[in-house]
Amino acid sequence: MDHHGDRNEKTPSHTLLTESGRLEELHTVLDNGDETTSSSAKQSTHIGDKKSDVEKSISLGEYVDNSDVTEKIESKKGEAQNTAVMPNEQEKDPNLVGWEGELYGRRKPLFVGYFIFAIFQIPVAVARNVETIMLFRFLQGVFGASTMAIIGGALADFWGPVERGLALGLFTGAVFIGPVAGPIAGGFIVMNNNLGWGWTAWMTFILAISFWLIALFICSESYAPVILQQKARRLRFETKNWALHAPADEQQVDLRNIAQRTYLATYYSLYGFIYGVVYLFFEAYPVAFQEQRHWNLGVGALPFLGITVGVMAGVAVVVYTSQTRFKRKMLANGGKPIPEERLLPMILGAILLPIGLFWFAWTSSPSVHWAAQVLAGIPIGLAVELVLLQGMSYIIDVYLMYANSALAGNTFVRSLFGAGFPMFAAAMFHSLGVDWATSVLGFISIAFLPCPLFFFFYGKKIRSWSKYSPKT
């Protein structure tokens, strides 16, 4: 299936050997600033739909929850450390993986990293002490970051702006449904005397290796410069013309130009805070429902379904706005996408987050019916999906083929918050109580409200400063 449709007429494929031996050109830039591929790159685009499904499934497999493991082995402190250790290492790795995605393509870093992530589930499954679990969870964070670091650039390779909204919505929906579904499955697995906590890791391994094998056979390289580089290498041997080379052989991406854009710091902070709230709730929900309401391990994880419903609603909102307002504005702009249009749902999410947090906080008393507190997860999940998905879409629209490098800083900050919040979550909720601890988060989220508004009104001017943005 060709995902570029009638755009192919605008982007005729052509390959030529210049006097300098430079192979031209595998990808072109449309008038609307959207990166597309031609020539042999198009041989990869027909698997776009399949790759979206596989990467969505990979996300679900990667994030099967293991948070019950250390609780059974040692202590609540160990549980918090186990929750934090993987995102802690993901702070460091995406910068490297994102860079590799620009130099070596999407496929190699993705498949190598994800395979090692899957294999390291085995030591976790057979571990007999918390130190072993921590070590291999740490290593899983190193290699498992490949999926999050590569996806942005891959989606920019496959789809145009409108279609990309749907693809990214499905991906991020899977990313966040995975973590909230994990505690539910993990709780009932741990409660089963015939299985035990080790099977939380075995299930993750089975899912991860299965999705890896499926993707291995249906997903090919999508990054146009690397495809052209591979083609040039092949032609050198076939023609014996050793001067033949591709642009990627002689160009280097100035990653510092992207990474050092300080204007993204505010956005990264909002993104990281919301991601931290997600991981914090992995510690907060057991306090709220298992300790205060005295629910058992399995049933006590079911309230995560509220967040799941919110995430799914967020995907629906993004798909709808992408197909309506975003598309209409793009057509009115001469077919050129307007990245700031991605931020309207993000603004809605920034408003819904404090509403959901205060709702959760002040329905936490056991005297209040449990349904009221569970339902608070819906606006929280909706806010999480809208902010994180649209924020990622905005960066992809701005940087397109260099999205991996731009998203690396985003993933770094996000993982920093995701690792840090669980470390103090239990102490915070025990000391302040669920009501005031969650209210503190609500007040902080209010402080972030101006962030998406700032980018909505001033983003066009700011992104014009970057030589890697579509406009330039």
DSSP string, 104-120: S-SHHHHHHHHHHHHHT
pLDDT at res. 189:
81
Question: Sign of torsion, CA 152 156 161 167?
Answer: negative
- Name the pTM for this structure: 0.67
In a domain, 200, yes or no: yes
Shared domain for 266 and 339, answered yes or no, is yes
Residues 258 and 377 occupy one common structural domain? yes
pLDDT of residue 469: 56
CB-based contact 376:306 (threshold 8 Å): yes
Q: Is residue 468 part of a domain?
A: no
What's the CA gap between 345 and 383, in Å, rounded?
Answer: 9
Residues 140 and 214 in one domain: yes
Q: Please, are residues 173 and 311 in contact by the beta-carbon 8 Å criterion?
A: yes
Same domain, 102 and 236: no
Cβ 174 vs Cβ 59: under 8 Å: yes
Pairing label, strands 27-29, 16-17: unpaired
Tell me the β-bridge partners of 23. Answer: 17
Compute the residue count for the chain: 472
What tens-digit pLDDT sequence spans the chain (472 residues)? 444 444 343 333 334 333 334 444 433 333 333 433 333 333 333 444 444 444 444 444 444 333 344 444 444 444 444 444 444 444 444 444 444 545 566 777 888 888 888 898 898 888 888 888 888 888 887 787 777 767 767 777 777 777 777 777 777 777 777 777 777 777 788 777 787 778 888 888 998 898 888 888 877 777 767 777 777 777 777 777 666 665 555 555 554 554 445 456 667 778 788 888 888 888 889 899 999 999 988 888 889 999 989 999 998 998 899 889 998 998 998 888 888 898 999 999 999 999 999 999 999 999 999 999 999 999 999 999 899 888 888 887 877 766 666 666 677 777 778 778 888 888 899 999 999 999 999 999 999 888 888 888 888 777 776 655 555 4
Q: Which element (helix H / strand E) includes 16?
A: strand 16-17
**Beta bridge partner(s), residue 28:** 36
Peptide bond into 341 cis (omega under 30): no
Residues 34 and 94 in one domain: no
- Same domain membership, residue 437 and residue 409: yes
Verify that 104 and 208 share a domain, yes or no.
yes
If we measure between CA atoms, which residue out of 88, 202, 179 comes closest to residue 138?
Answer: 88
Please give the backbone phi and psi of residue 243, each rounded to the nearest 5 degrees, phi first: -85, -10
Angle between helices 48-62 and 198-218 (to 10 degrees): 170
Structural domain count of the chain: 2
Q: Are residues 171 and 181 in the same domain?
A: yes
Domain of 285 in residue numbering reads as 47-221+253-463
Instruction: For CA atoms 252, 220, 214, 216, give the dihedral sign.
Output: negative
Sequence-distant (6+) residues with CB within 8 A of 212 are 58, 111, 114, 115, 118
The tokens describing 109, both together, are: 């870093």
Q: How far apart are CA 148 and CA 165, in angstroms?
A: 16
C-alpha–C-alpha distance, residues 101 and 114, integer Å: 14
> Is residue 159 in some structural domain?
yes
Location of structure tokens 């030529």: 16
Q: Do residues 238 and 386 share a domain?
A: no
Q: Which token pair is 249?
A: 């052989």
User: Both 411 and 372 in a single domain?
Assistant: yes
Sign of CA dihedral 150, 151, 155, 161: negative
Same domain membership, residue 288 and residue 229: no
Q: Tell me, what's the pLDDT at 49?
A: 46
Same domain, 167 and 294: yes
Question: How distant, in Å, are the alpha carbons of 112, 184, 264, 381 from that of 305?
Answer: 33, 9, 32, 10
